Structure 1
Amino acid sequence: MKSNLTQINSSSALVFNNPELFIEGWYWAIRSQDLKVGEVKPVTLQGRNLALYRGKDGNAIALDAYCPHMGAHLAEGKVEGNNIRCFFHHWEFNSSGNCVDIPCLGKALPVKLKTWHTAEKYGMVWVWTGDTPKQPLPFVPELENEECDFAFGSHFFKNCHPNVVMINAIDAHHFNTVHNFPIEIVFRKEELNENAITFSNTTRGGDESLLMKLILPFYKNEGTYSMCYWYGSTGTVTLGPDFLHFYIMFALRLVEGGKTEGQTILITKKRPGLFGWSFNRLILWLTLMVGNYFAKGDTKVFQTIKFNLKTPTKADQSIIQFIQHYEQQKPLVWGTWENPSTRRGEEAGVVYSACSS
């Protein structure tokens, strides 16, 4: 334990809490319901300006925002079938970004806009920030193969980096100091793949507490609390008694100044029939109440914190493990989505080596 705590902290990390870098992966762009067929919307994602439109076939298309002719923003344009036409001089581009028509020439030119892979899940349009998706969309591990119902919680901004917001959910000691939870929480980590890691509670206790005496009969073993992180910026919380788990997704993205924009999504397994639909509305409402309870105590911290983990303790083990996992993923530059410079990559290799030793 001692070596893990001393090998890496927030001052030695190169990517974690860095306002200029983020991890290649899937990031939420817009609510699906806010992009109707025939609509085009401007979206700034991880510092890059995009135009998102939904063609006649219903597919969401993401492409770089500016027309290669004179730089007009394509979100000012018009969707025609499955194509987008620039407002300024009516250059037309298909869903692959290829120019297919220039009215003043009566033909197209061999010009191509950069397009980005999109997918839809949990009511959101997601964009992959690299060339080819290497991992799946973020999902709740317990619901991986289930059809789900969902509802939107809060859309919020925080005055700190998404990484700092994310690690709050595995800050074991703050459950005691901020939320007055009467047990010592210890997490077990499991890496699902190079871009996903889970932290699950392994402890049971607090029998002297009235609260724990009331809720422990609903747990056969340790209390269910699990956090799954995707690309370091999207997390799913699973908690609740054995007979009913609540699922909350926090989809975050890095905005200018190293700050956070986030969307909360409430999730539950789809249940059949009218009764199932009505029951799920209740479950999603209860999920919102549970999420609000845990969020209200932390909100003010995120507005003033200047995160710097100089003196990690044993209770910070899971945070250290998260940072190590995060540092081993592929970074991109905020705004350009390019790979960092060779020099920065060489420096990162030193930290990655230390993390894995």
Structure 2
Amino acid sequence: MPSTSQHSNFNNPTQFVEGWYWALPSSKLKVGRVKAVTLLGRNLAIYRGVSGQVVAVDAYCSHMGAHLAEGKVEGDGIRCFFHNWKYDDRGICVDVPSQGKPLPVCIKTWQTAEKYGMIWVWVGEEKPSSLPFVPELEQVDCDYLLGTRFVKNCHPNVLLINAIDAHHFNTVHNLPLEIVFDSQDLNNAITFSNTTRGGDDSWLIRLIRPLYRNEVTYSMCYWYGSTGTVTLGPDFLHFYIIFALRMIEGGKTEGQTILVTPKRPGCIGWGVNRGLLWLTQQVGNYFAKGDTQVFQTIQFDLKTPTKADRSILQFIQHVNHQKVLTWGTWQAFDSPEESDSPLETLCDRHSSTSLML
């Protein structure tokens, strides 16, 4: 099974899966401020209005193309620096000072949400699906800590398969246990969970065996081909790490780790969680240090898959069945440009909704 081809979504630097992608940390966008963000080849202006709502708009003013991140936030709208045209949070022009009235134009807006201390942008025309989440914590209030931000010299799809590369746990990390994954397709996500006990000839496995009632807990959940959540640890204490990735120029990866733990009550709970988040970061760093250099030089091409690569092939197949968009334009792959439509319909269809989760 070839890993990439002209028609493959996986590891393709010209297209990406429609979905939620991280834009910037929530703490970096104060009320009344605007930031220039380039996301998957498209330039955006992302601002926080006085209501606290985050709005993402195409970067360039419809008058002369000035970058709106040079402008200023007014209420829940934004005013261009160059000629002071103002757009509301739906992208509709509401003021042109030189005309004394607005003109019937609008700029494109994109749906936003906030979770785990990050601002996410829904990239696509379809109704947004679920934000990425840790399956065990879907209905749980969580504390979080933003960890390492990094750039890797490979595609996000390739970087993510490292966590389900069963054989490399033995060859690189010297884990005395054969990992066998069971996968479950969840439409926009796919999960891989370890199913094996084994390792009884290892003193390390015998030592930690009392901490696990069944198999050693290790599972991954992949969202939109570019965000992965890791769950691992003994039965009484699971560690949760989110790897939020996005493709950058040249098919490379920019990533942000997010460390997560269930919220615990009171001041003592707050202090315990600070320690647990720190410990979670150390666990993530331990695994990352073992093979991070590989993803600066790898030229991924799975020409000779083996039995141990079964989960990787399943992930490739999952990505190849997702709806994809074209780098930079965000148009559906191989679809014609959208025809013009009336202003009201256009702005309604592309209006931005900010969700605080």
Fold similarity call, TM over 0.5: yes
Q: Which residue of 2 aligns with 1:235?
A: 228
Tell me, yes or no, if the aligned pair for 1:130 and 1:337 is still in contact at 8 Å. yes
Is 1:59 equivalent to 2:62 in the alignment?
no
Give the superposition deviation at 1:12. 7.5
Q: Which residue of 2 aligns with 1:154?
A: 148
Q: Secondary structure at the match of 1:30?
A: strand
Tell me, yes or no, if the aligned pair for 2:230 and 2:242 is still in contact at 8 Å. yes
Q: Which residue of 1 aligns with 2:309?
A: 316
Task: Return the alpha-carbon distance in structure 2 between the equivalents of residues 13 and 121 of structure 1.
Answer: 33
Task: Return the alpha-carbon distance in structure 2 between the equivalents of residues 47 and 99 of structure 1.
Answer: 25
Q: Which residue of 1 aligns with 2:243?
A: 250
Task: Return the alpha-carbon distance in structure 1 between the equivalents of residues 295 and 75 of structure 2.
Answer: 44
Task: Return the alpha-carbon distance in structure 2 between the equivalents of residues 67 and 10 of structure 1.
Answer: 38
Q: Which one of 310, 318, 327 corresponds to residue 320 of structure 2?
A: 327
Task: Return the alpha-carbon distance in structure 1 between the equivalents of residues 323 and 126 of structure 2.
Answer: 13
Q: Which residue of 2 aligns with 1:104?
A: 98
What TM-score do the two structures reach when normalised by structure 1? 0.92
Task: Return the alpha-carbon distance in structure 2 between the equivalents of residues 243 and 12 of structure 1.
Answer: 47
Which 4+ residue blocks in structure 1 deviate beyond 2 angstroms? 8-13, 131-134
Q: Secondary structure at the match of 1:303?
A: helix
Q: Which residue of 2 aligns with 1:168?
A: 162
Structure 2: runs of 5 or more not aligned: 337-357
Give the superposition deviation at 1:335. 0.7
Q: Which residue of 2 aligns with 1:126?
A: 120
Q: Which one of 4, 25, 28 corresponds to residue 22 of structure 2?
A: 28
Tell me, yes or no, if the aligned pair for 2:35 and 2:69 is still in contact at 8 Å. yes
Task: Return the alpha-carbon distance in structure 1 between the equivalents of residues 3 and 86 of structure 2.
Answer: 50
Describe the superposition over 1:281-308 as per-residue Cα deviations: whole angstroms up to 9, x where unpaired.
1110110010000000111000000000
Task: Return the alpha-carbon distance in structure 2 between the equivalents of residues 76 and 312 of structure 1.
Answer: 50
Identical-pair percentage: 69
Tell me, yes or no, if the aligned pair for 2:183 and 2:191 is still in contact at 8 Å. yes
Q: Supply the AA of the counterpart residue of 1:300.
A: Q
Q: RMSD across aligned C-alpha pairs, in angstroms?
A: 1.2
Task: Return the alpha-carbon distance in structure 2 between the equivalents of residues 332 and 131 of structure 1.
Answer: 10
Query: Larger deviation: 128-137 or 283-292?
Result: 128-137
Q: Write out aligned runs for 1:77-88 (5 A).
A: 77-88=71-82
Q: Write out aligned runs for 1:264-279 (5 A).
A: 264-279=257-272
Task: Return the alpha-carbon distance in structure 2 between the equivalents of residues 15 and 227 of structure 1.
Answer: 20
Q: Write out aligned runs for 1:258-297 (5 A).
A: 258-297=251-290
What TM-score do the two structures reach when normalised by structure 2? 0.92
Q: Which residue of 2 aligns with 1:39?
A: 33
Q: Supply the AA of the counterpart residue of 1:267.
A: V
Give the superposition deviation at 1:11. 4.5
Q: Which residue of 2 aligns with 1:215?
A: 208
Q: Secondary structure at the match of 1:257?
A: helix
Structure 1: runs of 5 or more not aligned: 1-5, 344-357
Task: Return the alpha-carbon distance in structure 1 between the equivalents of residues 6 and 69 of structure 2.
Answer: 41
Tell me, yes or no, if the aligned pair for 2:47 and 2:73 is still in contact at 8 Å. yes
